[in-house]
Amino acid sequence: MAEKMPPVRALKLVAAPIHPEGRIFVASAAVLTAVLFWLWVPMGWLGTVVTVFCAYFFRDPDRMSPSGEALVLSPVDGKVLAVGPADPPAELDLEPRKWVRISIFLNIFNVHVNRFPVDGVVRRIRYHPGKFFNAALDKASDDNERNAVHLSSIGGEDVVVVQIAGLIARRIVCDAREGQEVVAGERLGIIRFGSRADVYLPSSSNLRVIPGQTMIGGETVLGELMVTPTVLTKTLGR
């Protein structure tokens, strides 16, 4: 049985701040609502529902991330679609070897803020234009518009997180930059509306996730990298 969310935490999730990417949508919906109330009150109430939903969709709650140099955290909220072997995005030109891909689907009610899955450094960021199939389909990983972020963990392992557009998503926002030092759970960006996130880990990783499991971005542990943790300052080149 799933653990019940404490009422205080549930309230904080609903009343979370609005992500900067969503402010224009919320403001526009609010202005439209005022006009609709002036024209016809029942339509104004409909506009109110739309405005509240926009604020809810673009919510950006704080998260408490578990610490551990080898831990890999979920980059998004959502449901795990599949876990299995796969090749990483071709645009990253990574050395061919065995990888495990964890695919997570975000519906329109999930928090859509994306987070870094590991502590480390951003090595490469590659955008790939594509189609807009339903993000729940397997072919979305290869055919849809995406943004791939290659990370080097503080233990020296390669980790890839891919932001993937969905059927109605039309904007992927990535706030990361190459060479940036990051901490697991920090904000990476956002994908507007239904979407998907793929995480690629070395096949030697110790996975703690199964298909059908519900993820909390920045908090749920996907697995552990099977490496000997190294000193952070050495890995980051300080």
| Distance from C-alpha of 123 to C-alpha of 77, rounded to nearest angstrom | 24
Per cent of the chain over pLDDT 70 is: 87
pLDDT at 171: 82
Full-model pTM: 0.85
Residue pair 102/198 in contact (Cβ under 8 Å)? The answer is: yes
CA 95 to the chain's CA centroid = 24
* pLDDT at site 198: 97
- Cβ-based neighbour number of residue 159 at 10 Å: 26
Q: Which residue has the higher pLDDT, 222 or 107?
A: 222
Lowest model confidence (mean pLDDT) among 5-14, 62-71, 124-133: 5-14
Residues counted in the chain: 238
- Which range (16-25, 77-86, 113-122, 213-222) has the least confidence? 16-25
More confident residue, 229 or 36: 36
Q: What pLDDT, on a 0 to 100 scale, did the predictor assign at position 132?
A: 82
Whether the per-residue pLDDT at 196 is higher than 70: the answer is: yes
**Strand order of the sheet with strand 214-215?**
181-182, 120-128, 146-153, 158-165, 195-202, 99-106, 78-85, 214-215
pLDDT at 6: 55
195 part of the active site = yes
Extract the tokens encoding 9.
């935490």
Q: How far apart are the first and last CA of the chain?
A: 46
Tell which residue, 12, 139, 163, has the closest CA to residue 76. Answer: 163
Q: What pLDDT is stored for residue 238 in this prediction?
A: 40
The most confident of the ranges 160-174, 187-201, 212-226 is: 212-226
Give the chain's mean pLDDT: 88
pLDDT at 34 over 70: yes
Between CA 137 and CA 139 the distance in angstroms is 5
pLDDT value at position 234? Answer: 43
pLDDT tens sequence across 102-148 = 999 999 899 999 999 999 999 999 999 988 888 888 888 889 999 99
From 74, 141, 195, 205, the catalytic residue: 195
- Residue 166 confidence (pLDDT): 83
Between 64 and 238, residue with greater pLDDT: 64
